[in-house]
Chain A
Amino acid sequence: MTHARAAAGSAAAGADATTVLSVQNLSKSYARLVAVSDVSFRIARSEILGLLGPNGAGKTTIINTILGVLAPTAGTIRIGAFDVARQRAAALARTNFAAVYATLPGNLTVRQNLSFFGLIYAVRHLRARVESLLEQFDLRTLGDTKCGLLSSGEQTRVALAKALLNSPDLLLLDEPTASLDPAAAQSIRRHIRTLAQQRDCGILWTSHNMYEVEEVCDRVLFLSRGRLLLEGDPRRLPGEHGTRNLEELFISLAREPLTHREGSPP
């Protein structure tokens, strides 16, 4: 059995109370392009799953389908007990995300953005929640600053604060530390790690920083050209595949012809 099939098997078996996200046989194709092909995986509570792959591998397509802004060609996505296709509002009420390419409106202040999105997510005790998030992400002094005037690092912190507004069961983070300096990135990683453990929150994390992935993720999925190639513990996978570290494994997988890997044993 290939690793990809093993991942599919674990997704099918994982529809229990501890599963916050279950993706089964997900495919997305456009007229002449297969963006994602038959991908299955699941995320358990308190688990941080790394979604890795070269540019164009299909990571953002998977995130967009989970967020309901892109309809899959085939497959099902369940967030908790809710099917994203049929119970979109209930599923997304338990989800949130932050991505470098989805900055919050720059013409609203930090506090206004959090209040606006807080209402949309129907957050209770919104004012207190906003102030608490401003405190958590060291944004109190920037509360009345328009988001468009913030540095990219500050914008990332605001996006993360927005992503936690509704205390989500599932958090999707697309390169959350891409624009942060090493100290700020480490602080954010610790914050997210603590969040996953304390709040029972499942996290899907994409990053091109393999050292970060090793530090943060409990499990990783390797994706290439829309297909799932490998699944496993980021600290053990390099040894299992004869590479010195995760970065080397990433490079070898990214360069390898897809058909070769599919036929080879784990």
Chain B
Amino acid sequence: MRLRPIAGIVLRQFYLLRGSPVRVLPMFAWVAIDIVLWGFITRYLNSVSAAGINFVTTLLGAVLLWDLFTRIMQGVTTAFLEDVWSRNFLNLFATPLRISEYVTGLVLTSLAASTIGLITMLVLATAFFGLSYLALGMLLIVLLLVLSCFGIALGILASALVLRLGPASEWLVWPLPALLSPFACVFYPLAVLPHWMRAIAYALPPAYVFEGMRSVLGGRTPTIAPLVGAVLLSLGYIAVSGYLFGRTYRYAVRTGLLARYSAETVS
């Protein structure tokens, strides 16, 4: 992989962000609204609960981590969709740009944008609702790593779906995180799921993240093996989604789908 073409993809997204407040605002606004909404909900739950459970760390912490995952996934997809919306495929893929360089550029763009969202969430949750993310210690890094990797994988997979199914299929991929959330056990332990749902949850790295988070916040020592497994699993998903994107691209080149994407510009 060469750095300059990757920098080109990142620069293009930076130009778009710099010149467009409607692209910048969602990086802060939606995550801020989520934190404020769930911050008040957890504060209310703390006041009515007699059990002494701190909902701020369990629920608000979970919202923060899930939002990060969603942001990363949507960041990759949105960066890809910018090329769909501007009908730029022919210009882009007729260059020496390699698919691995293109996808890396999309991922770096998403990571940069999501980091801004993460900082916004951490500041709000800490300053206004007393979330102590440091309670998670070094585990926080592992949790963020797993969710970031799985967000990247899902974002690449969603982009491959749009490439394969056409521009209108973007409406299929936006709800993907919501579709996974019941299995990811964001707000409840894995044990409450029925067996068939648990089988799916075991295949999803976020389920291990939220189980690990609840273990630590519940005063238990987290088991390392499942988290290591989750890291490997999410890296595996990146490899699989990258492979599928490459395969979809080759299919699009072979069948004329890629050329038709741009041919829509003349219709």
Q: Which residues of A contact B (CB under 8 A)?
A: 30, 60-61, 64, 67-71, 88-90, 92-93, 95, 97, 99-109, 112, 115-122, 146, 162
Contact = CB atoms under 8 A, between A and B. Distances in A.
Interface stretch (B25-33, B87-95, B192-200): B87-95
B119 interface: no
Interface string B227-267: 00000000000000000000000100111101100110110
Interface in B6-21: 7-9, 11-12, 15-16, 19-20
27 contacts: A60-B259, A68-B93, A68-B253, A69-B90, A71-B253, A71-B254, A88-B96, A92-B95, A92-B96, A100-B266, A101-B263, A101-B265, A102-B262, A105-B82, A105-B86, A105-B91, A107-B16, A107-B20, A108-B16, A112-B12, A119-B5, A119-B8, A119-B11, A120-B97, A121-B95, A122-B4, A146-B19
Interface in B85-126: 86-98
B86 A106 contact: yes
Contacts of B262: 69, 101-102
B11 A116 contact: yes
Nearest to B89: A69
B4 A119 contact: yes
A interface, by DSSP: helix, strand, loop or mixed?
Answer: mixed
CB-CB nearest 6 A-B residue pairs: A119-B8, A105-B86, A67-B94, A120-B8, A89-B96, A93-B96
Given A92-B96, A105-B88, A119-B7, A69 B12 contact: no
Given A71-B254, A89-B98, A99 B90 contact: yes
A101 B11 contact: no
Contact of A117 (B8, B82, B90, B255): B8
Contacts of B96: 88-90, 92-93, 120-122
A61 B4 CA distance: 30
Interface string B71-91: 000000000001000111111
B2 interface: yes
Contacts of B93: 68-69
Interface of B: 2, 4-5, 7-9, 11-12, 15-16, 19-20, 82, 86-98, 250, 253-256, 258-259, 262-263, 265-266
A60 B266 CA distance: 12
Nearest to B93: A69
Nearest to B16: A107
A116 B262 CA distance: 19
A69 B253 contact: yes
Contact of B11 (A68, A115, A146): A115
A109 B253 CA distance: 29
A97 B94 CA distance: 8
A92 B93 CA distance: 10
Nearest to B20: A107
A105 B92 CA distance: 10
Most chain B CB within 10 A, of A97, A108, A118, is at A108
A99 B262 CA distance: 11
B4 A102 contact: no
A70 B97 contact: no
A226 to B, nearest CB: 14
A127 B87 CA distance: 25
Contact of B266 (A89, A101, A118, A119): A101
Nearest to B264: A101
A106 B9 CA distance: 16
A48 B45 CA distance: 76
A34 B96 CA distance: 28
Given A70-B258, A92-B96, A116-B15, 17 more contacts: A61-B259, A64-B256, A69-B90, A69-B258, A69-B262, A71-B250, A88-B96, A101-B262, A102-B91, A105-B88, A107-B16, A109-B15, A117-B91, A120-B92, A120-B97, A121-B95, A162-B91
A116 B86 CA distance: 14
B8 A116 contact: yes
B5 A102 contact: no
A4 B215 CA distance: 75
A256 B142 CA distance: 70
Contacts of A64: 90, 256, 259
A107 B254 CA distance: 30
A221 to B, nearest CB: 21
Contacts of A146: 19
A116 to B, nearest CB: 4
Contact of A70 (B9, B20, B92, B259): B259
